[in-house]
Structure 1
Amino acid sequence: RSYLETATRDALDRMLFIESERMTNCLYHPDDCESERTVIISELEGGENDPDQFLDQELTATAFKAHPYRHPTIGWISDLQMMTRDDLYGYYRRHYIPNNATLVIVGDVETDAALRQVDRYFGHIPSGPEPARLRTSEPRQTGERRLTIRKPGTAAYLKAAFHAPPVTAPDFLSVLVLDAVMTGAKGLNLWSSFRTPPPQRSARLYRALVERGLASNVSGALLPTEQPFLYTLSATATDGTPLASIEAVLLEELDRVRQDGITAAELAKAKTQLKARMVFDNDSISNQAHQLGYFETIANVDLFLQMPPRIAAVTVDEVSRAAGAILIASNRTVGWFDPQ
């Protein structure tokens, strides 16, 4: 969980006070818990009314059998209905401790003075027992999985998800470059990278689906995660286009890149686009703080700082091997939203 504050330089002391209070003195009053429960259930139900978001949630739950990644971030509605104030407070006490937190300060500050302020507000807070960590690994998928959702809607959606490596794996960046070739380059900032449309006119799936009038939109998503997650491809059908036709073309393009790889020209363009997106990922002190804290939490800051030269070093053969390894039928889960 991230908390971000952006303010003028003279507000640092106040921000540190607020965050230290958040770590130690939250009350979780029963009335506040009930009020927030209503808000979050409403938010969850709103997401279920968004066909694209709902399909993504159900696709992820189908792709994973054992790993907690199968659960949506906000939880299932039964979780929200059943959890008690004591459940929430117990979680807070176990996890909101200094040895389970990363504090990031970015901006026009004097380092030694800022660290003294941090010590003033956080130095007295005792560490707690190390929270329990994940013990379950997702078993290897052994065959294609499929789901079809039929409910009211105005557009049809297709998604295909493939189990993908974690951010620390050597081939993660090869898959990132592969996605840039297939759907256009995105950055690695969960907070901002997907708000700006990627450059797509030369992307393979854009040309195959959008330019041919089969889909109105196509996108890819590869998230930097601590554990292996998914590489997901999405398409929105144009009016009257059967989802089966979109799926056939999409899988044909994936088979082609899996068998033949990418070209040197595609690699060069993908690297140029990714380099630009990495700059945009860090175009504000808020984005910089988010990236430093996020990567320190899931891996380490050095991994984040090494991303640009590591992307520049990716080769055609590495991308081709990654495509051949993950874009196979037994590793994919296909989801349809078929409006009724």
Structure 2
Amino acid sequence: MPGEGHGVTRHILDNGLTILLKEVHTAPVISWWVLYRVGSRNEPTGHTGISHWVEHMMFKGTPKYPAGVLDKAVDREGGIWNAQTSYDYTAYFETMPASRIALALEAEADRMQNAAFDPDEVESERTVIISERQGSENSPGFWLSEAVRATAFRVHPYHHQIIGDMADLHTMTRDDLYTHYRTFYAPNNAIAVAVGDFDSAEMLAQIKALYGSIPVGAAPPLFNRPEPPQQGERSVRVEREGSAATIFTAYRAPAATDPDWFKLALVDSILAGASAPGGDGIGNKTSRLYRALVETELAASVGGGLYPSIDPYLFSVILTVRDGRQIEEVQAALDAEIDRLVAGDLTQAELDRAKKQAKALFAYGTEGVTGQAFWLAFSENFSGYEWYLHYLDHLDAVTLDDVQDASRRYFRRSQRTVGWFIPTNSGQEG
């Protein structure tokens, strides 16, 4: 029987494909997503970056749609398409005029089974992805993020970047990629979502016709190694050429399904301004860290983040040190603000403002059909689509005592990793 809530219906085909449908008739547009339950979280050493590389290969054609054909067809029909690889998933989407959505449905059904993985294309894409990583390496922030994650996670695969380690990008083979594809790209490991201007019964019939006969895959062996408890504060320094010193402080945070996650989401809004996956946040000039560090000219910028993840991940605060300031004094000022929150220095008015900002960011990211379809697929992957539907309710339910309790329990120095980027050409090394 299909499940239903807030206009969303949930169906599971005989081959295991999970389908979520939501009718939105405000404009003649439909967004179609297919999300596979595999990401960098599931990659062992030797195969880091394989999910992202397979995502690239999915755009290199099938016998039915050779490379470049779908790019032109989607553009000709007035649509957009793209993909993304993250820690916990790999996803593909098309947002099309409603009358042209058949192309998207057919394309993803075809790619689920018939991606070519031409050896020459694999080698060509190896060069592209290595160049992509080299481009990221031009940013000190990339090196610092990689070092902090590798220090915070010594066992769990969250320790490596989504793009993968350079050594693996040089050595993975076409057979490695194709085996990954054949193992994880199966209907029983996928979530398909349609949001937009359609009739649900007709849409479900179209999906069944295209996807219902795709064979069930073997239960995928989702590689994962639990991280053992952290036994004290960790620190790491990256010393390279760069223009500004940077601080990356990361505290251990719970999985998205933990009730504490929403408490820390509001702490994120209080400290550095609300953030959300798929978005860059909103203005944070009213946040505590902006006022305490940027307005006082200790830091040039401040940001933070809390990601909804399957396994426990990180609550991050990132500061760019203002020229002329010492990294030690900026770290001390940051720690003082964290300590103030832990001590219970928080008012109801401040929490109310944080809730308002977090709600505004969430509403902005979900006002269109593409954003809504993403969040339905994203939350179904780690919890259930209801997590997204009740997001605002969960924020509303958080009390002042909740925030203070979560701050005391999670912002312990024994449970954090502190990363410093020291520009070797600035005189700050030592």
Consecutive unaligned residues of structure 2, counting only runs of 5 or more, are 1-89, 425-430
| 8 Å CA contact 1:57, 1:72 repeated in 2 | yes
Please give the alpha-carbon distance, in whole angstroms, between the structure 2 residues aligned to 1:237 and 1:69.
Answer: 27
Counterpart in the other structure of 2:388? 304
How big is the shift at 1:46? 1.0
Which residue type is aligned with residue 287 of structure 2? A
Q: Secondary structure of 2:229's partner?
A: coil
Counterpart in the other structure of 1:252? 336
Please give the alpha-carbon distance, in whole angstroms, between the structure 1 residues aligned to 2:383 and 2:134.
Answer: 33
How big is the shift at 1:238? 1.0
How big is the shift at 1:262? 2.0
- Of 369, 374, 378, 1:294 maps to 378
| 8 Å CA contact 2:302, 2:317 repeated in 1 | yes
Counterpart in the other structure of 1:112? 201
Counterpart in the other structure of 1:274? 358
Alignment of 1:41-56 (within 5 A): 41-56=130-145
| Cα deviation digits, residues 195-254 of structure 1 (max 9, x gap) | xx4232221111110000011100111000111000010000111111111101001111
How big is the shift at 1:278? 1.4
Which residue type is aligned with residue 201 of structure 1? K
| Cα deviation digits, residues 158-189 of structure 1 (max 9, x gap) | 11000101110011000001111111122x3x
Counterpart in the other structure of 2:191? 102
Which residue type is aligned with residue 147 of structure 1? V
| 8 Å CA contact 2:266, 2:274 repeated in 1 | yes
- Of 150, 154, 171, 1:65 maps to 154
Which residue type is aligned with residue 301 of structure 2? N
| 8 Å CA contact 1:221, 1:233 repeated in 2 | yes
Alignment of 1:1-340 (within 5 A): 1-186=90-275, 188=276, 190-191=277-278, 193-194=279-280, 197-340=281-424
| 8 Å CA contact 1:216, 1:236 repeated in 2 | yes
| Normalised TM-score (structure 1) | 0.96
Consecutive unaligned residues of structure 1, counting only runs of 5 or more, are none
Q: Secondary structure of 1:140's partner?
A: coil
How big is the shift at 1:92? 0.3
Please give the alpha-carbon distance, in whole angstroms, between the structure 2 residues aligned to 1:124 and 1:135.
Answer: 30
How big is the shift at 1:54? 2.0
> How many pairs align?
335
Q: Secondary structure of 1:252's partner?
A: helix
Moved more, 315-324 or 127-136: 127-136
Q: Secondary structure of 1:335's partner?
A: strand
| Cα deviation digits, residues 242-285 of structure 1 (max 9, x gap) | 11111010011111111224211111111111111111010211
Please give the alpha-carbon distance, in whole angstroms, between the structure 1 residues aligned to 2:315 and 2:215.
Answer: 40
Please give the alpha-carbon distance, in whole angstroms, between the structure 2 residues aligned to 1:115 and 1:289.
Answer: 16
Which residue type is aligned with residue 309 of structure 2? T
How big is the shift at 1:103? 0.5
Please give the alpha-carbon distance, in whole angstroms, between the structure 2 residues aligned to 1:54 and 1:46.
Answer: 12
| 8 Å CA contact 2:302, 2:320 repeated in 1 | yes
| Normalised TM-score (structure 2) | 0.76
Q: Which has the higher contact order (CA 8 A, sep 6+)?
A: 1
Q: Secondary structure of 1:103's partner?
A: strand
Q: Secondary structure of 1:6's partner?
A: strand
| 8 Å CA contact 1:150, 1:337 repeated in 2 | yes
Please give the alpha-carbon distance, in whole angstroms, between the structure 2 residues aligned to 1:162 and 1:270.
Answer: 20
4+ residue runs over 4 A deviation: none
How big is the shift at 1:135? 4.5
Please give the alpha-carbon distance, in whole angstroms, between the structure 2 residues aligned to 1:245 and 1:76.
Answer: 33
Which residue type is aligned with residue 136 of structure 2? G
Give RMSD over aligned pairs: 1.1
| Cα deviation digits, residues 109-146 of structure 1 (max 9, x gap) | 11111111111111110111111134521111111111
| 8 Å CA contact 1:261, 1:319 repeated in 2 | no
How big is the shift at 1:93? 0.3
Q: Secondary structure of 2:195's partner?
A: coil
Please give the alpha-carbon distance, in whole angstroms, between the structure 1 residues aligned to 2:221 and 2:381.
Answer: 15
How big is the shift at 1:42? 0.5
Which residue type is aligned with residue 316 of structure 2? T
